[in-house]
Amino acid sequence: MYSVSVRDSMMVAHSFTGEVFGPAQRLHGATFVVDLEFRRPELDPDGIVVDIGKATEVLKTILSALSFRNLDEEPAFAGKNTTTEFLARVVFDRTADAIVRGELGSHAHGITSLRVALHESHVAWAAFEGPLKTT
- Figure out which of the listed residues 61, 65, 85, 102 binds its own copies, where binding follows CB under 8 A: 85
C-alpha 61/C-alpha 24 separation (Å) is: 27
Judged by CB under 8 A, the residue of 61, 70, 76, 97 near its own copies is: 70
Q: Give CA–CA dist 102/79, Å, rounded.
A: 31
Distance CA 96, CA 90 (A): 10
Q: How far is the CB of 39 from its own copies (least distance, A)?
A: 9
Q: Which of 57, 74, 93, 120 binds its own copies (CB under 8 A)?
A: 120
What distance, in Å, lies between the first and last C-alpha atoms of the chain?
Answer: 21
Residue 57 and residue 111: Cα distance in Å, rounded?
17
When asked if residue 102 is in the footprint of its own copies (CB under 8 A), the reply is no
Residues of the shown chain interacting with its own copies in the complex, contacts defined by CB under 8 A? 1-9, 11-14, 18, 20-24, 26-33, 43, 46-49, 51-53, 56, 67-70, 80-81, 83-86, 88-89, 105, 120-130
